[in-house]
Amino acid sequence: MNIALWIGLVVFMLIAAWFAWRYFDLKKHLNQYAHLIHEQPETFPADVEELEDLSSAIASLRTSLNLQLSALNSENARLATVLEQLTDGVLIADANGQVQYANPAACRLFENANPIGDSIAEVVRNHQLIEAWRRCQQTRKTQSESVELPARHQFLQLFAIPDTHAGGSLLLVQDLTRVRKLETVRRDFISNVSHELRTPLASLRALTETLQNGALADPEVGPRFLGRIATEVDALTQMAQELLDLSRIESGQVELVLAPLVPRSLLTSAADRMKMHAERAGLKLTVTCPEDLPMVRADRSRLEQVLVNLIHNSVKFTKAGGEIVLLGEAVDGSVRFAVKDPGIGIPADDLPRIFERFYKSDRSRAGGGTGLGLSIARHIVEAHRGRIWAESTEGRGSTFFFTIPFS
Instruction: Kindly list the residues in this chain that would bind Mg ion in the complex (CB under 5 A).
Output: 313, 369, 373
Instruction: Report helix, strand or coil for 333.
Output: coil
Instruction: Kindly state the smallest distance separating residue 272's Cβ from Mg ion, in Å.
Output: 20
Instruction: Kindly state the smallest distance separating residue 261's Cβ from Mg ion, in Å.
Output: 23
Total residues contacting ligand ATP by CB under 6 A comes to: 23
- Judged by beta carbon, residue 126 or residue 361, the one nearer ligand ATP is 361
Instruction: Kindly state the smallest distance separating residue 317's Cβ from ligand ATP, in Å.
Output: 3
Instruction: Kindly state the smallest distance separating residue 361's Cβ from ligand ATP, in Å.
Output: 3
Pairing of β 323-331 and β 284-288: parallel
Q: Which stretch binds ligand ATP (CB under 6 A): 53-61, 177-185, 356-364, 381-389?
A: 356-364
359 contacts ligand ATP (rule: CB under 6 A)? yes
- Judged by beta carbon, residue 313 or residue 403, the one nearer Mg ion is 313
Sign of the four-CA dihedral 309, 314, 319, 324: negative
- Judged by beta carbon, residue 94 or residue 350, the one nearer Mg ion is 350
242 contacts ligand ATP (rule: CB under 6 A)? yes
Looking at beta carbons, which residue is closest to Mg ion? Answer: 373
Residue 389, strand partner residues = 401
- Judged by beta carbon, residue 236 or residue 295, the one nearer ligand ATP is 236
Return the number of other C-beta atoms located less than 10 Å from residue 382's C-beta. 13
Instruction: Report helix, strand or coil for 289.
Output: coil
Instruction: Kindly state the smallest distance separating residue 382's Cβ from ligand ATP, in Å.
Output: 15
Residue 174, strand partner residues = 157
Q: Distance between CA atoms of 379 and 201, rounded to whole angstroms? A: 29
Instruction: Kindly state the smallest distance separating residue 281's Cβ from ligand ATP, in Å.
Output: 13
For residues 302 to 341, the per-residue mask of contacts with ligand ATP, x marking binding by CB under 6 A and - elsewhere, is -------x---xx--x-----------------------x
- Phi-psi bin for 368: left (phi > 0), alpha (psi -120 to 50), beta? left
Sign of the four-CA dihedral 149, 83, 134, 143: positive
- Judged by beta carbon, residue 101 or residue 359, the one nearer ligand ATP is 359
Sign of the four-CA dihedral 375, 380, 385, 391: negative
Instruction: Report helix, strand or coil for 362.
Output: coil
Could you tell me if 378 and 269 are in contact, meaning their C-beta atoms sit under 8 angstroms apart? no
Pick one of Mg ion, ligand ATP, none as the site partner of residue 344 (Cβ within 5 to 8 A by kind).
ligand ATP
DSSP string covering 216-241:
GG-TTHHHHHHHHHHHHHHHHHHHHH
343 contacts ligand ATP (rule: CB under 6 A)? yes
Instruction: Kindly state the smallest distance separating residue 399's Cβ from Mg ion, in Å.
Output: 15
Q: Distance between CA atoms of 38 and 215, rounded to whole angstroms? A: 131
Return the number of other C-beta atoms located less than 10 Å from residue 336's C-beta. 18
374 contacts ligand ATP (rule: CB under 6 A)? yes
Return the number of other C-beta atoms located less than 10 Å from residue 307's C-beta. 22
Could you tell me if 398 and 382 are in contact, meaning their C-beta atoms sit under 8 angstroms apart? no
Pick one of Mg ion, ligand ATP, none as the site partner of residue 303 (Cβ within 5 to 8 A by kind).
none
- Judged by beta carbon, residue 119 or residue 203, the one nearer ligand ATP is 203
- Judged by beta carbon, residue 129 or residue 246, the one nearer ligand ATP is 246
Q: Distance between CA atoms of 43 and 56, rounded to whole angstroms? A: 19
200 contacts ligand ATP (rule: CB under 6 A)? no
369 contacts ligand ATP (rule: CB under 6 A)? yes
- Judged by beta carbon, residue 137 or residue 309, the one nearer ligand ATP is 309
What lies within 8 Å, CB to CB, of 305 at 6+ separation is 376, 377, 380
- Judged by beta carbon, residue 99 or residue 325, the one nearer ligand ATP is 325
Q: Distance between CA atoms of 138 and 134, rounded to whole angstroms? A: 6
Q: Which of 103, 126, 334, 398 is close enough to bind ligand ATP by CB under 6 A?
A: 398
Binding site for ligand ATP (CB under 6 A): 242, 309, 313-314, 317, 341, 343-346, 354, 359-362, 366, 369-374, 398
